[in-house]
Structure 1
Amino acid sequence: MRSTAAVLTSMTALAAMSLVAGPAVAADTAAAGPCALTRTAAHHSLGVDTWNAAYPRPERTLNAVMVFLSFPGHRAAVTPRELTADYFPATSDFFERASYGRFRLVPHPEERWIRMPRPATAYGIQRDWAPEDRAAYLRDAVAAADPLVDFSAYDVVYFVADPGAPGVDSDATKVVNFDRPIVADGAELRRIVTVFEQHPPDRNVLAHETGHVFDLPDLYHRPTDGKGDWDTYVGDWDVMGSQFGMSPDLFAWHKWKLGWLDPAQVDCVRSGTSLHTLQPLSQAPPPGGTGGTRLAVIRTGPGTAIAVEARGSAGNDGDTCTEGVLVYRVRNEAASGGGPIEVLDGHPRTEACWDRSVYPPLADAPLEVGETFTVPGERITIEVADRTQSGAYTVKITT
């Protein structure tokens, strides 16, 4: 049994929580080269020169606890085991493939429902959740779970609500960050993933939310009036843009940030003309090999860069409907949801995959062999010269 003091400390910390970026604590990373954008104070900044030590870096095995919350007056129609199967092993497999085996996410589901003290309707659960209601929900959830869960044993915490309980809104799933960490069982909890999904849930939803736990930003565009298309920035091309995407593997830039690409796998493009052999992002490396170059970067300003990578129909991108060389712009001062990555459309006059794409205008964004693309507003030309028998693309870049 853990001490009552730990529970009281948790409750005190919860009283002052909110959705915040977290402390800008830096931990030096390996030399990232002259093309690496610096990390800024923007929430989930895509700078790669340092790592924010407030977040766990997924370069090793991390353990995640799943706590299943039920509510008075409602009997759950599914079991914790069934809900676990909604997310695992799919989420672990996604990260195993995306990281080329460098990261393993191990789930530890509680095999029981933990009863909340009030009905779900009492917490006003919704996408734009009132801070006081969100605080009450997490205060009650931590208090209910703490006698049964040793939070100090885990790197990631998922609170999974009974999907059938009245008042549970599937649009409210998100990561809640605390302005001051919760101390429970001697561990500092800086963020909790609150899951309110239906059964079965949205595809890849937990991979998306877990990406935030690792300091990755939202790449979708939320219209100010709540209407219109959310996927205009990156379309299908990264799970942080859409959990429904056909090609949800993480951008090479994200993999660089997370430590899944070695410096030798990132080409820093100098002025002039250069050739680059880019391996498709989702293609697993050969046994004992590094997998070759995965990203070419052209620095365009103090806080901006153009990234070039190859995408093929393998691994996490196995459901894609187009292949080729993808070009996108990265901005280190754009916050999560503010367009830190923007895919540049190699075929702006056409669309593709109307039956499956979340945003058909960008579904055919990649360049094919023989095509040339000039980056708008920049003196940068990208030509796809060839494709090797192994599937790699030979790309000529002129700056």
Structure 2
Amino acid sequence: MRFLALLVTAFTTLALTSPAASRAEPVAEPEPAGEPVTRETDGRRPSGPCALHGIDDSVSEAADTPPGFAPSNGTVRALTVFVDFPDAPAEGTPQERYAEFFPAVADYYRASSYGRLDYRSTPVSRWIRMSRPYAAYGIERGTPFERGYRALSKEIVTAVDDTVDFRRFDLVNVLVTPNAGPPATEDVRSVTFAGAPTGLTTGDGVPFKNVSFIWSRQTGNSPFRVLNHENAHTFGLPDLYYTRGGSGLLKTPVGHWDLMDEDWGPSDDFLAWHKWKLGWLAPEQVECVPAPGRRTVTLTPASVPGGTKLTVVPLSRTRAVTVEARERGPLDHTVCRPGVLVTTLATDVPSGAGPVHVSDATPGSDGCWTTDPNVNPQLSDAPYAVGERFSSGGVRVTVTGRDADGNWQVTVERRRPPSSRLSRPASGAAPG
């Protein structure tokens, strides 16, 4: 299956009346709250010399997401179902489990996308009892779909097929009773199967795909973000943390600057590159620097709607330096050193292998957010402040000032044409 991707959530450091028969009925889809979704981007994906190509058959940092994934802007419709087991019956109502995630998940996407993603979830408000005990399905971290997940999915589809029109939905959320399996403090098992059909077909003739399974409970002040992380896989985003070790590097090379790396503990927002890839930034909000020269840019922090959000300096067809401004805001709770965040990204590096690295402006420091075990402290003070400079691969980024409105002035200098290789920066500008 060409586009099938198995994606496991990021780790955590902490860790619902009687089930009805498996036949379930969907409830009416709720209307979204808040301001209406804007259409400034018209659903346009990134284009131009800074819209880098790369991996084209799975999740990746490539600007162009391949076919088969869920849409990531405009109205996106999710079907949400609830599952328990004979030996792990739900200890509460499906409504209580649902409230752990909604409306928070939809509100998060609305805020992060600046109103460009209208996420609507339709719950099937009954527990779907699986036919066998939990252990019989063999679910472990990283279990492939063809093992236990196929059996689970087949039972879910059978349970709701008569009452759910799968043609109406872009993705599926499976919220498992939290008492099935270990707590998230011991083992993270939430997973998404995105891109390609799983091999199951519903009675409506559509493939069962872009499905996220949520196990246990996360911790922190926004534990719902595990579902934002998993759903972002269905939109085409990769895992940013190392899934097989970091070859001596930080296991979290982006830290708390994107929930595709750390989605546990305090809230954090998406990187600006991800917002561009997902269609949340209008063309005029992205500054592309494809040629040698000097450019002065005013960056508006991610937490503030409007303004320029991203500067991209392509180094090759698959490498780039990105520049954005971050400060504490409604989604960014841990920004203790506001400033200009610089990253290096590779669109040909797969999910879980470190496709993005944050450059640390203060290498060797202990960080400024040091009391929360959910946050990578070394990168908490990574942004560059006024007067500081990043330099690597012929690219120099200098933070020259900050105005009264909180916008950051940045000078970007490109001293040579794009290279096919991204050199390792010297100390003080090393990614991750």
TM-score bracket for the superposition, by shorter chain length: 0.7 to 0.9
Q: Distance in 2 between matches of 1:167 and 1:253?
A: 34
Residue 95 (structure 1) aligned with residue 116 (structure 2): no
Q: 2:188 is paired with a residue of what secondary structure? A: helix
Please provide the CA RMSD for this pair.
2.7
Q: Distance in 2 between matches of 1:229 and 1:30?
A: 31
Q: Cα deviation per residue 1:38-67 (whole Å; 9 max; x = unaligned)? A: 14336312222x342211222111111111
**Corresponding residue for 1:244?**
264
Match runs of 1:42-81 below 5 Å: 43-48=58-63, 50-81=64-95
Q: TM-score, normalised by structure 2?
A: 0.79
**Corresponding residue for 1:268?**
288
Q: 2:410 is paired with a residue of what secondary structure? A: strand
Q: Distance in 1 between matches of 2:287 and 2:181?
A: 52
Q: Distance in 1 between matches of 2:358 and 2:335?
A: 16
Match runs of 1:1-399 below 5 Å: 19-20=4-5, 32-41=47-56, 43-48=58-63, 50-129=64-143, 131-165=146-180, 171-177=188-194, 178=196, 180-184=198-202, 185-198=204-217, 202-224=223-245, 230-231=251-252, 233-244=253-264, 246=266, 248-269=268-289, 270-284=291-305, 291-352=306-367, 353-356=369-372, 358-375=375-392, 378-399=393-414
Q: Which runs of 5+ in 1 are unaligned?
A: 1-15, 23-27, 285-290
The answer to whether the Cα contact below 8 Å between 1:203 and 1:244 also exists between their aligned partners in 2 is no
Among the aligned pairs, what percent are the same residue?
A: 35
Q: Distance in 1 between matches of 2:152 and 2:342?
A: 42
Q: Distance in 2 between matches of 1:53 and 1:18?
A: 8
Instruction: Between the two structures, name the one with larger relative contact order (CA 8 Å, sep ≥ 6).
Output: 2
Q: Distance in 2 between matches of 1:245 and 1:384?
A: 30
The structural deviation recorded for 1:77 is 1.0
More strand per residue: 1
Check 1:167–1:223 CA distance in 2 against 1; reply closer, same or farther (3 A cut): closer
Q: Distance in 1 between matches of 2:323 and 2:46?
A: 20
The structural deviation recorded for 1:29 is 5.2
The structural deviation recorded for 1:226 is 12
Q: 1:94 is paired with a residue of what secondary structure? A: helix
Check 1:300–1:163 CA distance in 2 against 1; reply closer, same or farther (3 A cut): same
Q: Distance in 1 between matches of 2:363 and 2:324?
A: 18
Q: 1:330 is paired with a residue of what secondary structure? A: strand
Q: 1:386 is paired with a residue of what secondary structure? A: strand
Check 1:91–1:172 CA distance in 2 against 1; reply closer, same or farther (3 A cut): same
Check 1:268–1:199 CA distance in 2 against 1; reply closer, same or farther (3 A cut): closer
Q: 1:187 is paired with a residue of what secondary structure? A: coil
More helix per residue: 1
Q: TM-score, normalised by structure 1?
A: 0.85
The structural deviation recorded for 1:373 is 2.1
Q: Cα deviation per residue 1:146-198 (whole Å; 9 max; x = unaligned)? A: 23433222212111111123678762111024555532123233221111123
Aligned residues between the structures: 369
Greater CA deviation, 359-368 or 50-59?
Answer: 50-59
Q: Distance in 1 between matches of 2:296 and 2:267?
A: 26
Q: 1:280 is paired with a residue of what secondary structure? A: coil
The structural deviation recorded for 1:274 is 1.4
The answer to whether the Cα contact below 8 Å between 2:82 and 2:126 also exists between their aligned partners in 1 is yes
Report the AA paired with residue 262 of structure 1.
A
The structural deviation recorded for 1:311 is 0.4
